[in-house]
Structure 1
């Protein structure tokens, strides 16, 4: 695996509370050491507090990907971090994270989120009461998945307490310790499991039976999770691998009713649409819309998940037009039904029609539409006034008539040709 990724790794094993370590030294890792990170490291080293990269950034680096965001963990408490940063003249921003142990420092025009090691002492399935610790193993133990529970020292040493690296190599997604316990701590972890399964697993159905049993047993806990948090995970799941399988699994495990999806969703239609669209980067809502049998189900989903207006309108558009706006039976190779629709609906977002073609599996027509530019109708009301029209109602009706003539010409007729169709 490492040779394929072009990664230089020196491994060493340490038997200490199941700790496995190795040394990582990759270009992606080294590229993270900006002036800001070097300055941050110096401050923690000066005050003898340990600082490591945590969670997703470590997972991405081990997967051969340069992380876009890097979170840090430390043995320093928030109060100790504030004291260090204040003495060093470092600006701190976003005080909202402090109650969770996170301090955000700004160095060299970069923001660095640093969180104190924690233990969850009380959880209710949504929130946790935390206690600070200096024990890296205990902090790793409270995290959701093994692949997200690793730390990476700034010298390149990987600290892996729960075989996360092994699971990543084997494309396995497992909870840290007991799946039941992790899920009961935060029910959103059910959807995080699905999301990361779509990123890591090679096969669509390679789940551990005890994991699925735990999800089924505690799935109703998702009803207590906010719609916004659920939609964040669903959106990411929809653009990963195995999206159709995972959505079908959500129905098989009887979770749909708790997360805003229609209880009787059209799973077969969704699977067909995903197969049609998966190679063309469909929007998450394009796949999800296939589950809805009517626009009322879209409205119910929106009430629960509070999706964006753009996403809601896309779902309504697809459900309304997926059958009526389609290729012509007389000329199945023609894009004209779709371009006419765009012309007739001048405020229409062309991207919605592109998503409709992905939904329908119209690969050739999609390619044509992506190359098509909306032509400008060459006649306006001022042109009709010049030739004697005065009534606003008459001008509107005449413009529509000329627009229909123009469409029949495949948008080729110019102003003079169109005005020649007016009755003298």
Structure 2
């Protein structure tokens, strides 16, 4: 989006080539992170392209990660081969091709040694020698921008956005990964985003949510979400127009060092349960994400730590123990992050819910016959058990019946 970087997977070698359309910067990279990418599958893929005299390059975000000293989680590849040439080559080599819905965009997915490799045809003509050797190709000063922590579109921001309106949200996500400080945006970029924001209406909710989630767990998340509101983008992304931006900022400040889930941060702007429903309608949240959003909006005020300074975790563990939701403890952990309770997050992470030792069978053996009576008695015993901090045994609890 904001730069074109390609890497052919030592010593630094820099070359500048200038033509009428752009300046090309070339250097070679040899780092531990780069070399760690060379699995058996990638070596086989690179050899195959070299054998057939096609160039294979690492492209996009993986290059930025490598230049930043990070090992990329996902790697995309670019090649001088056309999709038809790739299919012919893979078929001849007996390589399986899968999920080739991207073929119309020039992408073929090959599977080698239990790994999937997405390879896309380059859109420029280049002279190649087939190597994957760590040579960096930078056509738009992307490396310089990366060193200076700058994020910008290539050429006209409006034109790039209009080619794919999702680039608006990708700008926010990249800013969170690259920029050192919040608020260092080029005004021209922000105006282009504001003027083209309505274009997000035509982008699927699933694609929008993918970008938002990455933004929400990146750097400057509160600033970027606030900016999304300032630029008038909220109505096009499923967020409530009257979202509580200040609450979100405080929730982010409290939770940023606790590895919150995206929904934990986003819940700050959601004022009511209906906001979660509308968000789900637009973004197609997973069941886990939706139920977490509902849980946080519902309980962020009424489930607060108790007054006993020696047992601040008790209201939370009692809540979990009483819940029939098997995922309750994970949701309460996110609630504690939302509230900024670092010590309680650590304590609850180590806590395992104990098993209530008394059952209905135990009461029947004591002569209880009414289902209603058994149910109410079990609840009474459970309350006693909770007050003991889950320490009382079955025998002690049943003995409690005979003295009550």
TM-score, normalization: structure 1?
0.88
Counterparts of 1:175 and 1:38 in 2: how far apart (Å)? Answer: 33
What CA RMSD, in Å, does the superposition of the two structures yield over aligned residues?
1.8
User: Secondary structure of 1:115's partner?
Assistant: strand
Q: 1:405 aligns with which of 384, 393, 397?
A: 384
Q: Evaluate the alpha carbon distance shift between residue 341 and residue 114 of structure 1 in structure 2; reply closer, same or farther with a 3 A threshold.
A: same
The answer to whether the 8 Å contact 2:255/2:338 transfers is yes
Shift of 1:188: 0.6
Does structure 1 residue 344 correspond to structure 2 residue 322?
yes
Does structure 1 residue 37 correspond to structure 2 residue 53?
no
Counterparts of 2:11 and 2:242 in 1: how far apart (Å)? Answer: 50
Q: Evaluate the alpha carbon distance shift between residue 187 and residue 368 of structure 1 in structure 2; reply closer, same or farther with a 3 A threshold.
A: same
Show the counterpart of 1:286: 264
Show the counterpart of 1:388: 367
How do 1:36-115 and structure 2 match up within 5 A?
A: 36-115=41-120
Does structure 1 residue 225 correspond to structure 2 residue 203?
yes
User: Secondary structure of 1:19's partner?
Assistant: strand
Counterparts of 2:355 and 2:230 in 1: how far apart (Å)? Answer: 50
Show the counterpart of 1:210: 188
Q: Which moved more, 1:53-62 or 1:188-197?
A: 53-62
Show the counterpart of 2:354: 375
Show the counterpart of 2:301: 323
Shift of 1:69: 2.2
Show the counterpart of 1:5: none
Structure 1 unaligned residues grouped into runs of 5+ = 1-7, 119-132, 137-151
Greater relative contact order (Cα < 8 A, sep 6+): 2
Shift of 1:78: 1.0
Structure 2 unaligned residues grouped into runs of 5+ = 1-9
Show the counterpart of 2:3: none
Counterparts of 1:228 and 1:105 in 2: how far apart (Å)? Answer: 25
Name the count of aligned residue pairs. Answer: 388
The answer to whether the 8 Å contact 1:9/1:22 transfers is no
Show the counterpart of 1:11: 13
Shift of 1:135: 5.2
Show the counterpart of 1:122: none
The answer to whether the 8 Å contact 2:11/2:29 transfers is yes
The answer to whether the 8 Å contact 1:53/1:153 transfers is no
Measured against aligned partners, the alpha-carbon deviations of 1:156-212 in whole angstroms (never above 9, x if no partner) come to: 111100001001111111111111111111111010000010011100111111100
Show the counterpart of 1:130: none
The answer to whether the 8 Å contact 1:248/1:267 transfers is yes
The answer to whether the 8 Å contact 1:333/1:365 transfers is no
Does structure 1 residue 357 correspond to structure 2 residue 336?
yes
Counterparts of 1:9 and 1:262 in 2: how far apart (Å)? Answer: 52
Counterparts of 1:78 and 1:37 in 2: how far apart (Å)? Answer: 19
Shift of 1:294: 0.8
Counterparts of 2:297 and 2:112 in 1: how far apart (Å)? Answer: 49
Does structure 1 residue 274 correspond to structure 2 residue 245?
no
User: Secondary structure of 1:14's partner?
Assistant: strand
Show the counterpart of 1:253: 231
Q: Evaluate the alpha carbon distance shift between residue 393 and residue 43 of structure 1 in structure 2; reply closer, same or farther with a 3 A threshold.
A: same
TM-score, normalization: structure 2?
0.92
Show the counterpart of 2:176: 198
Does structure 1 residue 239 correspond to structure 2 residue 217?
yes
Q: Evaluate the alpha carbon distance shift between residue 347 and residue 108 of structure 1 in structure 2; reply closer, same or farther with a 3 A threshold.
A: closer
Shift of 1:9: 4.0
Q: Evaluate the alpha carbon distance shift between residue 259 and residue 409 of structure 1 in structure 2; reply closer, same or farther with a 3 A threshold.
A: same
Q: Which moved more, 1:315-324 or 1:107-116?
A: 107-116
User: Secondary structure of 1:343's partner?
Assistant: helix
The answer to whether the 8 Å contact 1:227/1:305 transfers is yes
Shift of 1:235: 0.4
The answer to whether the 8 Å contact 2:46/2:131 transfers is no
The answer to whether the 8 Å contact 2:321/2:353 transfers is yes
Show the counterpart of 2:6: none
